[in-house]
Structures are given as structure tokens and as C-alpha cells.
């Protein structure tokens, strides 16, 4: 009578917490303890710091808005209908940005590139309107150093304009990278991060437009 052959199954090796196999898992987002990926957390921290920065600029403008020279102030300069039109254009760019993010999540790269391009064009129209407005103000005698009011106004609105310009560069760069398939990691998340920045810029403008142009001095 032969002995029964027994097969011993080795227990699965327990993987210690925090183990790194040394491989780079491209495309898999690394999450933090907050449940957000590292990229999203970094973007939210950046936007939080931007809130503090714009909060300081807005507070400075509100403090100096009545420090005018030769009565050359908002009542004599603002063209509310024109600024409202450019503001509407910028707000519409938020809608097209939402369409771009939605298309990216559905992996429709052609539509994603299209909506990004449209968003960048709307942002460009807003900037063109702002440059025209600044030109008119300068010809009316409101230079950067004319008064504390003019300095704080140009600093606040100009700094926001720089953020819009940076957003346009980000959008067009992303369009080019998507076309050449050079976006590393999760493409939808990358598009979403650019979208977060763009929506932030739009929300900041709503606050600026309300306090600078609509609230009486």
C-alpha cells in the first residue's frame, strides 16, 4: 500500500503596508489620505493660496477706491454695458470648459480639443475687451500712478488678466499635447485640473466685477 502523496500549499506572502514594488504605474493616480489624488490636492492648495492673494488685492482696492485725483473715478469712467458684455463672454467660457471636461471623461478627444479651443478663444475675447478698456481709461487720464485708486484698480484687474492669459496658454498647450498624445497619466484628470483653474479665474472675476463695477463708491 503506497503512502498518500500530500501537496503542501505555501501561504501567500503578506505584503507589508507601504510596500513599493519599484514599478512606475503610469496612468494610475496616487491618492492621499484625503481621498484626493496628489494632483488634485496640489491644485486645491494652489487655488487656496490664490484666494488669499486675490483677497488681499480686493481689500486694498476697497480701501483706496475713494482716493481719486481730480474727481476722475468710477462714476466718470466705467462703461457698465461693455464690461457686462465681456464678463458674459468669460462666464460662457466656463460652460464650454464644462463641456470639455465632460467630453474628456467620455474619452472623446476630438470634442475635448474642440471645447478647449473654444474656451481659449472666449478667454482671448475677454482679454481683448480688457485691453481696450484700459486703453480708454488711459486716454481719459487714468494712468497707473494717477492716484491710489488707479494703482489699486489696475493692479487688481491686471493681475486677474494675467491669470486669464496663463489659463489660455494652459488650454492651448493641452490641446497640442492631446493632439500628439503626449499627456501622461489620466487624461480626464489633467483636463479636470485645467478646468478647476479656469473656473476659479471666472469666479474671481464675478467677485471683482461686482465689487469694482457694480457697488457704488
Mean pLDDT confidence for 186-211: 91
- Is 2 buried (19+), middle (13-18) or exposed (0-12) by CB count in 10 A? exposed
**210 domain-assigned:** yes
Q: How deeply is 203 buried, as exposed, middle or buried, from its count of CB atoms within 10 A (0-12, 13-18, 19+)? A: middle
In a domain? residue 191: yes
Residue 113 lies in a domain: yes
d(CA 109, CA 27): 17
Q: How many domains does the chain have?
A: 1
Report the distance separating Cα 168 and Cα 121, nearest Å.
Answer: 8
Please state the rounded mean pLDDT for residues 13-41. 53
| Structural domain boundaries enclosing 152 | 80-214
Give me the pLDDT at residue 30, please. Answer: 52
Among the listed ranges 118-122, 132-136, 139-143, which one has the minimum average pLDDT value?
A: 139-143
Q: Please check whether residue 43 lies inside any domain of the structure.
A: no
- Is pLDDT above 50 for 195? yes
The C-alpha cell at 171 is 488650454
Q: What integer is the mean pLDDT of 155-176?
A: 95
Say which residue the cell 468669460 belongs to.
90
| Predicted confidence (pLDDT) per residue in 52-66, tens digit | 999 999 999 999 888
**Domain annotation covers residue 25:** no
Q: What is the mean pLDDT of residues 178-194?
A: 79
**Model's pTM, two decimal places?**
0.79
- As a whole-number percent, the residues of the chain with pLDDT over 90 amount to 53
Is residue 108 one of the residues assigned to a domain? yes
Whether residue 118 has pLDDT greater than 70: yes
Q: Is 87 helix (H, G, I), strand (E, B) or coil?
A: helix
In a domain, 26, yes or no: no
pLDDT class of 42 with cuts at 50, 70, 90: confident
210 or 215, which is more confident? 210
Q: Which of 58, 59, 84 is nearest to 159 (CA)?
A: 58
The answer as to whether 112 is a domain residue is yes
CATH number reported for the structural domain that contains residue 119 in this entry: 1.20.120.80
Amino acid at each position: 500500500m503506497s503512502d498518500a502523496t500530500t501537496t503542501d500549499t505555501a501561504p501567500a506572502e503578506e505584503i507589508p503596508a507601504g510596500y513599493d514594488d519599484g514599478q512606475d504605474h503610469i496612468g494610475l493616480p496616487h491618492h492621499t489620505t484625503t481621498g484626493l489624488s496628489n494632483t488634485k490636492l496640489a491644485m486645491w492648495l494652489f487655488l487656496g493660496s490664490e484666494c488669499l492673494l486675490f483677497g488681499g488685492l480686493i481689500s486694498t482696492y476697497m480701501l483706496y477706491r475713494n482716493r481719486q485725483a481730480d474727481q476722475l473715478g468710477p462714476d466718470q469712467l466705467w462703461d457698465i454695458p461693455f464690461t457686462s458684455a465681456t464678463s458674459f463672454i468669460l462666464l460662457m467660457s466656463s460652460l464650454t470648459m464644462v463641456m470639455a471636461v465632460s467630453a474628456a471623461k467620455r474619452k472623446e478627444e476630438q470634442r475635448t480639443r474642440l471645447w478647449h479651443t473654444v474656451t481659449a478663444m472666449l478667454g482671448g475675447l475677454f482679454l481683448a475687451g480688457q485691453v481696450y478698456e484700459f486703453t480708454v481709461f488711459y486716454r481719459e487720464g487714468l494712468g497707473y500712478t494717477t492716484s491710489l485708486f488707479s494703482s489699486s484698480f489696475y493692479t487688481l484687474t491686471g493681475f486677474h488678466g494675467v491669470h486669464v492669459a496663463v489659463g489660455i496658454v494652459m488650454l492651448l498647450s493641452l490641446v497640442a499635447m492631446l493632439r500628439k498624445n503626449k499627456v501622461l497619466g489620466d487624461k480626464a484628470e489633467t483636463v479636470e485640473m485645467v478646468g478647476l483653474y479656469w473656473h476659479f479665474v471666472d469666479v474671481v472675476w464675478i467677485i471683482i466685477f461686482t465689487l469694482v463695477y457694480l457697488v457704488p463708491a
